[in-house]
A and B are shown apart, each in its own frame.
Chain A
């Protein structure tokens, strides 16, 4: 019985965090960062410095009418945003927030992470198909082609870290990272590949062809109105945060900081550093988004298949050689 309560509590806590600390906060942050990059002011009227802008947006969305497009597939149109949001939520099970602070330390940790994120592709593809809109279908297909292409380099860079640390568990990966972690050349290459592939996986500029508002309106969610649109946002920012958190876990020492905070104890200290680093990585992704132009689709697929894939595969073998030689 106690276990059931723990299960329910962990779902509710993580969901609340993803809704408030990730979706609501990151949308606001995105608007502030874009304003900063473009020398604008950004939202400032609702709440102090516009801090409650996205809360107001959410309240507005709650009062709006759902519109089912003509000729759309009712059931799949409704199910797709839920699939995308839940796939993002599932990846939070294996994120190590601090020493001992994790929902479940699965034995197949990082493999589980990539598995559930691959389910997102299915949601996006069905959303595009179910909308009965040409832009949406094109966006959904492009997105699926892009996400599957970049899953491979992403997987190989995760595997490089797994090879060096000798484990798939996210907790043990953090614990196994010796300082200074960055002196391993394979780790640096894997980290760079991970950053590029993660940008593409989350459909962000310069890899935002699936949504490309200037050519596809909004891609696979063109036809989605109020709350279902909000669920797509939840999924999108949820997986952006989760991928950034995985980057912190694999390459930036996870919950370990350069020094210990006084008085608060190891758990709060760990959570503090983990969140600080993750939000910093999220900021990096936003900075890139508002700075660079978009790739063409052939360029985008070439980067993945002809550059990142061979490089990350060779890098993985190099790391394997190192470990096999030393072991």
Chain B
């Protein structure tokens, strides 16, 4: 009962705030509206018993990525509100893209056999996560560090070229 209330509450927040993100004509408003969406998703993780994932969702997405997005908006002209067209004017092309994407997502959603294993999540998340990436998935884990360094190098090259 309580979990159903929580689920529908989170869904209302996530959908409402997502609409704000898409429909707002002010880029800073759109970026800040992302925060309730991301926090609501952390709430979903909690309902699934994935506490560790919920905490890193707050730390990385709500606390770090939104700050980065705000920095990006503030360094472009977006924050000044001048000479900015927050909406795409390619209506036909945009509509086609949206429809194709929606069809693709619906097809994936309906055809994937979603496993119903809510109760099998280990009680203590961080230990289980640590064990799996340090034993079974050690190669992807090490590859992750290379990916992060690649992001870093790419960003520095792009940012420095502008000067």
Could you list which residues of chain A lie within 8 angstroms of chain B, going by C-beta atoms? 73, 76, 106-108, 111-112, 114-116, 118-119, 121-122, 125-126, 129, 141, 144, 148, 168
Considering the chains assembled together, what is the distance between the CA atoms of A116 and B56 in angstroms?
Answer: 10
Q: Is the CB of A108 within 8 A of B51?
A: yes
Q: Is the CB of A141 within 8 A of B51?
A: no
Closest to A116 in B: B58
Q: Is the CB of A111 within 8 A of B32?
A: no
Closest to B54 in A: A108
Considering the chains assembled together, what is the distance between the CA atoms of A111 and B55 in angstroms?
Answer: 7
- Does any Cβ of A come within 8 Å of B7's Cβ? no
Considering the chains assembled together, what is the distance between the CA atoms of A271 and B66 in angstroms?
Answer: 37
Q: Is the CB of B126 within 8 A of A168?
A: yes
Which of B35, B59, B62, B79 sits near A114, CB closer than 8 Å? B59
Q: Is the CB of B51 within 8 A of A129?
A: no
Which of B28, B63, B125 sits near A129, CB closer than 8 Å? B28
Considering the chains assembled together, what is the distance between the CA atoms of A54 and B55 in angstroms?
Answer: 36
Q: Which residues of A contact B126 (CB under 8 A)?
A: 107-108, 111, 168
The 10 nearest A-B residue pairs measured at CB: A118-B63, A115-B59, A115-B58, A108-B55, A111-B55, A115-B55, A112-B55, A119-B63, A121-B67, A125-B70
- Does any Cβ of A come within 8 Å of B29's Cβ? yes
Report A190 CB to chain B, min CB distance, Å: 19
Q: Is the CB of B64 within 8 A of A118?
A: yes
Interface hits, B121-156 → A, CB 8 Å? 124-126
23 A–B contacts, CB within 8 A, in A order: A73-B28, A76-B28, A76-B29, A76-B32, A107-B52, A108-B52, A108-B55, A108-B126, A111-B55, A112-B58, A114-B59, A115-B59, A115-B62, A118-B59, A118-B62, A122-B63, A125-B70, A126-B28, A126-B70, A129-B70, A141-B74, A148-B64, A148-B67
Closest to B70 in A: A125
Q: Which residues of B contact A141 (CB under 8 A)?
A: 71, 74
Q: Is the CB of A119 within 8 A of B74?
A: no
Could you list which residues of chain B lie within 8 angstroms of chain A, going by C-beta atoms? 28-29, 32, 35, 51-52, 55-56, 58-59, 62-64, 66-67, 70-71, 74, 79, 124-126
Report A157 CB to chain B, min CB distance, Å: 16
In this complex, which of A115, A126, A144 has the most chain B Cβ atoms within 10 angstroms of its Cβ?
A115
Considering the chains assembled together, what is the distance between the CA atoms of A153 and B6 in angstroms?
Answer: 36
Closest to A120 in B: B63
Considering the chains assembled together, what is the distance between the CA atoms of A68 and B74 in angstroms?
Answer: 22
Report A245 CB to chain B, min CB distance, Å: 19
A-B contact count (CB 8 A): 65
Considering the chains assembled together, what is the distance between the CA atoms of A107 and B148 in angstroms?
Answer: 28
Q: Which residues of A contact B56 (CB under 8 A)?
A: 111, 115
Considering the chains assembled together, what is the distance between the CA atoms of A72 and B31 in angstroms?
Answer: 17
Q: Is the CB of A129 within 8 A of B67?
A: no
Considering the chains assembled together, what is the distance between the CA atoms of A121 and B35 in angstroms?
Answer: 12
Q: Which residues of A contact B52 (CB under 8 A)?
A: 107-108, 111
Q: Is the CB of A106 within 8 A of B51?
A: yes
A107 and B67 in contact, given A115-B59, A129-B74, A129-B79 (Cβ under 8 angstroms): no
Closest to A110 in B: B55
A122 and B67 in contact, given A108-B52, A111-B52, A111-B56 (Cβ under 8 angstroms): yes
Which of B28, B51, B59, B62 sits near A107, CB closer than 8 Å? B51
In this complex, which of B70, B71, B125 has the most chain A Cβ atoms within 10 angstroms of its Cβ?
B70
Report A155 CB to chain B, min CB distance, Å: 9
Q: Is the CB of B62 within 8 A of A119?
A: yes
Considering the chains assembled together, what is the distance between the CA atoms of A227 and B124 in angstroms?
Answer: 42
Q: Is the CB of A115 within 8 A of B74?
A: no
Considering the chains assembled together, what is the distance between the CA atoms of A141 and B28 in angstroms?
Answer: 14
Q: Which residues of A contact B51 (CB under 8 A)?
A: 106-108
Q: Which residues of A contact B64 (CB under 8 A)?
A: 118, 148
Q: Is the CB of A144 within 8 A of B67?
A: yes
A119 and B58 in contact, given A108-B52, A111-B52 (Cβ under 8 angstroms): yes
Report B11 CB to chain A, min CB distance, Å: 22
Considering the chains assembled together, what is the distance between the CA atoms of A78 and B67 in angstroms?
Answer: 19
Report A295 CB to chain B, min CB distance, Å: 21
